Structures are given as structure tokens and as C-alpha cells.
Amino acid sequence: MDDPVVQRLQALGLSLPTLTPPRGRFQPFQLAGSMLYLSGKGAPARPGHGQVPKVGAEVSIEQAQAHAHDVGLYLLAVIQHALGGFSRVRQVVKVLGMVNATPDFTRHTEVIDACSALFVQALGERGEHARSAIGVGSLPMGFAVEIEAIVAVD
């Protein structure tokens, strides 16, 4: 039988993405005792040169929310890979969302809510978490958003 989390995602018309190797000298996750630390994941990468689009200017709030949702799916795929499924997830404890935004943009929480909502849709009460959502002047690779998480595991 499939994992109930995967079944819930499929019912929503979603599937977990394929993991890619990190671009740098770090691991995508670190399991330390009963805590799983997920490295920050960004979307979308904008390789090349030129001006990096900013949320609140060239990137709409709806586009940024879609990026945050996609990052949430990716982080779920990392959890699945790290733990061999979702049965060991006790609780998503903390999420940190960073939004590459214009200085006057103030709707960071609305952007990162797309990731938070996905965690709750997929994991139920185990997806509820504490969270910070902040605006930053830049992110690696021209990401519009970057999100990391801490998960308590059995």
C-alpha cells in the first residue's frame, strides 16, 4: 500500500519531484538524533546574467506563492528520501521562508503560506509548524524564494 502522504498528494494532483544534487559543499538534509534539518531550497533558479527579478516588481505574489508551493513539494521529497517515507515524521517543527523582494514588499507571510498550507495538506496536524517569513535583498542563483525546515522524527 502506498504511503498515505503520497496518496493525499496524488488526490491533489501532485507528485513529488526528483531530487537533484546540491550546488555546493553541503548536504540536502542532516539527521541528528530525533531532528531532521532540511537545507534551504530555492525556486526558480535564474542562471545567467542580468537583473534578478524581485517579488513585488517583476515577480507577482501569485508567482512567488507558486514557487513556495514547489519548494514545499521538493522539501517533502527530501523528507521522503531521508526517512524512507513519511511514517517517521512526528512534526514539522519550524519553517524559515526567505523572499527575494523589493524593499517596500510586505506580504512575505502570504508567499510562504503556500508552502505551509502544502505541509498541512500532506501531513495533516503533523504539518503544523512555527514559522518565520522574511524579505531579503538577494538569494543564491536568483531564487525568488528559499525555504528551509526542521522536522521532529521518531
Residues of the chain with pLDDT under 50: 1, 49
Predicted local distance difference test score (pLDDT) of residue 69:
97
Q: Give the separation between CA 124 and CA 104, rounded to whole angstroms.
A: 34
Strand-pair category, 130-136 with 89-100: parallel
CA distances from 121 to 23, 30, 58, 92, 115 (A): 29, 24, 29, 13, 10
Nearest to 111 by CA among 147, 75, 58, 150: 147
d(Cα 33, Cα 24) in Å, to the nearest integer? 24
Which residues are paired to 101 by β-bridges? Answer: 55
* Predicted TM-score (pTM) of this structure: 0.94
Q: What is the pLDDT of residue 10?
A: 95
Q: How many CA atoms lie within 13 A of 20 on its CB side?
A: 10
Q: What fold is seen in the domain 51-154?
A: 60s Ribosomal Protein L30; Chain: A; (3.30.1330)
The one-letter code for the residue type at 43 is A
User: What's the pLDDT score for residue 43?
Assistant: 83
pLDDT given for residue 109 in this prediction? 98
* Residue-level pLDDT at 49: 47
Amino acid found at 110: E
DSSP assignment string, 95-107: EEEEEEB-TT---
Q: Residue holding cell 524593499?
A: 103
pLDDT attached to residue 141: 86
- Enumerate the domain spans of the chain: 51-154
